[in-house]
Amino acid sequence: MKLIIGSHVSFNKDKQLLGSVIESLGYGSNTFMLYTGAPQNTKRIPIDKELTSLAHNLMKKENINIDNVIVHAPYIINLANPKNFDFNVSFLKEEIARTEALGIKQMVLHPGSHVGIGLEQGINNIIKVLNACLTEDTKVDICLETMAGKGTEIGKTFEEIKQIIDGVHCKDKVKVCLDTCHIHDAGYDLNNVNQVLSLFDNIIGIKKIGVVHINDSKNGLESHKDRHENIGLGNIGFNNLINIIYHDKLKDVPKILETPYINTDNGKYPPYRFEIDMIKKKQFNNQLVSDIISFYK
Ligand code: FE
Ligand code: FE
Ligand code: ZN
């Protein structure tokens, strides 16, 4: 089986997509995910055509299939809040256009938080924004991310995600991003991956999974915290993550790591090169953190 794996990488104004491709190749990845600007704000730079075409040439040369590359929408926008409707629609439309300009076909989106107006109202607002943005001509699929259920987050159950998809007119353009840390924190026990996936299949349909975010969790089952941990160092554990990464039903789905950088007194180092290496070997590395530090220092 050909594993499709990569990580979150940066996208900066000087190198744009070309820089993202180069960074991901340094981790031994064959795909990646980027934010088109800082995830915490909605300031965005125009997409440079020349850098985009250089990036596409490099991807062809290095066998990175652009269909597996992912954009993550900023998490500051809250589609469930009706006060932001006009802004949400215009921003999401622009973000879809930027993703199309990069030639990328899938965008991950957090459904939103109802912030006290109630789950049903929140879900209705999310549906309205999606219906205002998606048309038959949209070239990007939206992958609604499964959430940990922190605060009033919507999408903490497969049923909530299903309810959103059911309300959207262009249903074929809406898929799901399954985040292992989030579903664990929401209460889905990854000690039984088969059971979780067949539950997902019964409620939404396994074919709807467009991306899997691979993260361990700093907290326990049903903790609703959403704090990612490095692979094998958290409460989900290495073997359960390997079971989902190599699951036959998910073999064509890109896997993206969003695990935390390793903090030291001298700086922060990306863990991805070493995490991807142990995933490829299916062998947990007891020296993970010290290997990362000695490589980058
Ligand atoms: Fe996310
Ligand atoms: Fe995620
Ligand atoms: Zn998260």
Mean pLDDT of 20-25: 98
Question: Is residue 223 scored above 70 in pLDDT?
Answer: yes
* pLDDT, position 21: 98
Structural domain count, the chain: 1
Mean pLDDT of 237-264: 98
* pLDDT, position 43: 86
| Range of the structural domain that residue 114 is part of | 5-296
Q: What percentage of the chain exceeds 90 in pLDDT?
A: 95
Helix H, strand E, coil C: the string for 12-56 is CCCCHHHHHHHHHHHCCCCEEEECCCCCCCCCCCCCCHHHHHHHH
How many angstroms does the Cα of residue 281 sit away from the middle of ligand 1?
26
Residue 91 Cα distances to 3, 69, 98, 145, angstroms: 33, 21, 10, 18
pLDDT in tens, 96-110: 999 999 999 999 999
pTM over 0.85: yes
* pLDDT, position 1: 66
How many angstroms does the Cα of residue 48 sit away from the middle of ligand 2?
27
CATH number of the domain residue 158 falls in: 3.20.20.150
Question: Is residue 132 scored above 90 in pLDDT?
Answer: yes
Ligand nearest to the CA of 260: 3
How many angstroms does the Cα of residue 264 sit away from the middle of ligand 2?
24
Amino acid at 231: I
Mean pLDDT of 208-220: 98
**Cα–Cα dist 209/199, whole Å:** 13
Ligand nearest to the CA of 258: 2
How many angstroms does the Cα of residue 210 sit away from the middle of ligand 2?
13
Mean pLDDT of 267-281: 98
Residue 157 Cα distances to 111, 128, 178, 180, 203, angstroms: 12, 20, 11, 13, 10
